[in-house]
A and B are shown apart, each in its own frame.
Chain A
């Protein structure tokens, strides 16, 4: 589904990603862990198509096409979804309106009919249940005044509605209480299909108790310094990152 090869990316003159290679197959869950500032969010944003980062070399292939050729909105329309580490507020635009606009853009891109507000209400209702979110949240402005946890849950609601093929969750677990963590994780699990894949960026092993990863990667200094199975996460929890950094020259 996704093949990243020797990816280098920078912001301005600062190189942040320094040669990342990663292959994600349909049906898989990959976890990316690593110290603060190691480039996890940058990788997520580059996959989603943030214009603030320049890919200086390397490639990203997604579903047989060159992902870097596509604008961010085209990537989204083709099933790439990023749950933001810091979801953005859009005052004055209701959550319901925003989500329907997004949903319809994706349908249009697939040559499908747009959903009218009534139809969309049904779709939303079902998904709200999935993430145990109150319907009243839909009438509030997108993320404006949402608590940290509400914002994260709202990202998962969007993911549930937009049904992406490749979801990248950037620290969706940070700031969630125990119950919310379980709800979000269950949501992710329920949306899991053999045809889609998920990349979860996290600092905490505990999320991986709920969302069982097939692969765990450690990102440090803009490189993947170690990859392994789910047991790697436990090892990191116990030992921290230092033992990996030095041998990797970070």
Chain B
């Protein structure tokens, strides 16, 4: 269409650089010894090693699931490295000791870990490959009793909390990728908000994969005690590499009575090039359990990864508990996403809302897969599902796979779905008002995603919108 669009097609992924740090990387391959080695490196207590080993043995007996609507060549789990950490990161170091090279990396990603330039009101835990580089604003949080630290640190300082909740929502036996993660997870974030405390800061974790041929297997555990509330955001990027890299994370949320947890994700892992070479394989298990009167809300903006396999879910265990899932998933180039949610209604008067916006461009394939399950005792359960797809161009695809199981006839379910095509007409209308094609598309798409964006913490809504614009650049021409 125009040379400016052509230039944009070839635009680089802005986060594709590699940081040159010396790393402590264990040999490729996965055996019981690998699991022991990771656990030893992290100086873990015996119970945790035992748990990992149980997970590992279970994993060995499982097969990789292939029911999702994505295809990829077989993954050789023995050709991966399961632990890599910059040598300069000392266990439980303070921020003042962070390697300047790593600080620079995060600066380049737009995240400042140094005191002066931090975003107001946001505490950050920065995870680089297999370890946490540091966590900001810790003292501010400690004043109100909020624990926000790396998972490794939590194991050392708060073992009773970790032991109590680890695997309580996503057991190691849950699925193939969760079992793998349970065996080899290296780091991640841990959050505990005590009874009645409203966390005064936005918490966020920034995941960065740097090392080649290394998988990232982080584990996040968030516990909101009775009446507590917290908002948490995760961001992810990785260098451009020609090999696919594996990311298999587990996130568990425990929302005790009357608490509320809002979990937002802006996922921008490297997506591979336009021919489908390289990119992250993103196999993630995220689940929360909401007790009486508690609320868990997932918001995700998924723009990266070659493959996304992810279903943030809520077990509505307690009466009157609320589960929400707001999702924008974008595929462009050769990306494939199979994402959605599960809402399991167990308690009475439980309520769930699902808003899914799938955008497909290039040769991307986007699938929404959602399950709403109402168990026999869930009197008065309610679900509202809205599932909208937008297509840009003719070579992409959008698919929806809703599953509904109802065992209580007092349940009310509403389902709405739509598929639209970004029209030449819409783009021309914008152009006739002076907007170029990229601006037009990002505007039209932002409008399409509005209901989801408004759920993001304000600081990130704009970022997400821009990100969306970038991932769709060059999709029309």
Q: Enumerate chain A interface residues (CB-CB to B < 8 A).
A: 48-52, 71-73, 75-77, 81-82, 84, 87-93, 98, 101-102, 105-106, 109, 141-142, 158, 162
Contact = CB atoms under 8 A, between A and B. Distances in A.
Nearest to B420: A91
A158 B437 CA distance: 19
B450 interface: yes
Contact of A82 (B426, B432, B439): B432
A88 B435 contact: no
Interface in B404-457: 423-426, 428-437, 439, 443-444, 446-451
Given A105-B439, A142-B447, 16 more contacts: A49-B432, A73-B431, A73-B434, A73-B437, A76-B431, A84-B432, A88-B425, A88-B426, A92-B448, A92-B450, A101-B435, A102-B434, A105-B435, A109-B434, A141-B447, A162-B434
A76 B434 contact: yes
A72 B431 contact: yes
Interface in B236-279: none
A158 B431 CA distance: 13
A116 to B, nearest CB: 15
Contacts of B432: 48-49, 72-73, 75-76, 81-82, 84
Contacts of A91: 447-448
Contact of B433 (A50, A51, A141, A162): A162
Contact of A93 (B428, B436, B447): B447
A72 B428 contact: yes
A218 to B, nearest CB: 26
Nearest to B388: A91
Closest 4 CB pairs of A and B: A92-B447, A93-B447, A102-B433, A105-B434
A91 to B, nearest CB: 6
Contacts of B448: 91-92
B443 A51 contact: no
A51 B428 contact: yes
Contact of B2 (A71, A81, A98, A105): A71
A52 B431 CA distance: 13
A71 B438 CA distance: 13
Q: Chain B contact residues: over half helix, strand or loop, or mixed?
A: helix
B423 to A, nearest CB: 7
Nearest to B425: A88
Contacts of B426: 88-90
Contact of B443 (A71, A75, A98): A98
B7 interface: no
Contacts of A77: 434
Contacts of B458: none
11 contacts: A48-B428, A72-B432, A81-B432, A84-B432, A90-B429, A90-B447, A92-B446, A92-B451, A101-B443, A106-B434, A162-B433
B434 A50 contact: no
A49 B428 CA distance: 9
The A interface, classified by DSSP as helix, strand, loop or mixed, is: mixed
Contacts of B443: 90, 93, 98, 101
Contacts of B449: 92
B96 interface: no
B77 to A, nearest CB: 43
B423 A71 contact: no
Given A73-B434, A92-B450, A141-B447, A87 B429 contact: yes
A93 B435 contact: no
Contacts of B434: 73, 76-77, 102, 105-106, 109, 162
B375 to A, nearest CB: 35
A89 B435 CA distance: 16
B426 to A, nearest CB: 5
B301 to A, nearest CB: 15
Contact of A88 (B423, B436, B437): B423
A92 B386 CA distance: 15
A102 to B, nearest CB: 4
A88 B429 contact: yes
Which of B428, B433, B434 has the most C-beta atoms of chain A within 10 angstroms of its own C-beta? B434
Contacts of B429: 84, 87-88, 90
Contacts of B450: 92-93
A102 B435 CA distance: 6
A50 B435 contact: no
Nearest to A86: B425
A50 B447 contact: no
Nearest to B447: A92
B62 to A, nearest CB: 42
Contact of A158 (B423, B433, B436, B447): B433
Contacts of B428: 48, 50-52, 72, 88
B461 to A, nearest CB: 13
A77 B436 CA distance: 10
Contacts of A51: 1, 424, 428
Select the residue from A71, A89, A158 with max chain B CB neighbours within 10 A.
A71
A128 B177 CA distance: 57
B474 to A, nearest CB: 16
B444 A52 contact: no
Contacts of B435: 73, 101-102, 105
Contacts of B444: 90, 93
A84 B443 CA distance: 19
Contacts of B447: 90-93, 141-142
A52 B428 CA distance: 10
Contacts of B437: 73
A163 to B, nearest CB: 12
A162 B430 CA distance: 13
B448 to A, nearest CB: 6
A52 B450 CA distance: 29
